[in-house]
Amino acid sequence: MMTRRKQLSEAMKASIRDAAAALFAEKGYPSVTMREIAKAAGCSHTAIYLYYNSKEELLQQIAIPSLLQLEQRLLELRGRREAVPEDRLLAVCEQYVVFCLTSGSLQTVLFMSGSVRVDDPSPELEVNVIRIRLFTHISQMLHETVTGASEAPDRESAAAIDNGRMLFYYLQGFISTYTGHLEPTAELLERTLPILRQGILTLVRGMKQN
């Protein structure tokens, strides 16, 4: 059966994954060493390479599930039709930003290093596929908020895409400004989230005037 062996092996792999996820979130991807992960997972650093081919692949494997989880949360927020579009957009943007900041430069590193255009038709990394979907969700919500239409445009107008890009630049700037700060994230968010919201509303106000 080989069951006990496989079981232990699976447990080791999971232990490595969890330890790495916690460390990446806590200290940021570049600052975490393979030996550190190994110690936290209870194995030698070479054992990690039995399950993951490289540090980068380990990051990807960890990032994908939590990215999908983020997407689910965004979709759930988007579906709350009892709230006005503006509030839904704010909630979604906030969720996105908080996610990027609390995952301790994990996602940011991913997004930065990808060097993939958000409108790239054939991205190679799965993480970028998900990212583009996130961009689409937020863009469509923005379009609804700006035009007042309750549905996404059947054919994505150029203006809608441009508006989405502007909002994304803004969010990305907010995130990259505060990524890697030493200040505790909770404190940081309390201090800066009002400005984030204000900026989004300012952008939306400006877009509505077109």
Partner DNA sequence: CGTCACAGTAACCATCGGTTATTCTGTGAC
Partner DNA sequence: GTCACAGAATAACCGATGGTTACTGTGACG
DSSP state of 57: H
75 is in the binding site of which of DNA, a copy of itself, none (Cβ under 5 to 8 A by kind)? Answer: none
Q: How far is the CB of 146 from a copy of itself (least distance, A)?
A: 10
Cβ-based burial of 185 (10 A; exposed 0-12, middle 13-18, buried ≥19): middle
122 is in the binding site of which of DNA, a copy of itself, none (Cβ under 5 to 8 A by kind)? Answer: none
By CB under 8 A, is residue 112 in contact with a copy of itself? yes
Of 31, 33, 53, 198, the one binding a copy of itself by CB under 8 A: 198
Alpha helix positions (H), 28-157: 34-41, 48-51, 55-78, 85-102, 106-114, 126-147
Q: Which is nearer to a copy of itself, 14 or 195 (CB)?
A: 195
157 is in the binding site of which of DNA, a copy of itself, none (Cβ under 5 to 8 A by kind)? Answer: none
By CB under 8 A, is residue 101 in contact with a copy of itself? no
Using alpha carbons, list the distances in angstroms from residue 48 to 8, 28, 105, 107, 185. 14, 18, 22, 21, 29
50 is in the binding site of which of a copy of itself, DNA, none (Cβ under 5 to 8 A by kind)? Answer: DNA
Using alpha carbons, list the distances in angstroms from residue 54 to 46, 51, 57, 72. 11, 9, 5, 28
By CB under 8 A, is residue 113 in contact with a copy of itself? yes
Residue among 138, 24, 25 nearest 73 (CA): 138
Q: How far is the CB of 110 from DNA (least distance, A)?
A: 15
* Site residues (vs a copy of itself, CB under 8 A): 112-113, 115, 162, 165-166, 168-177, 179-182, 195, 198-199, 201-207, 209-210
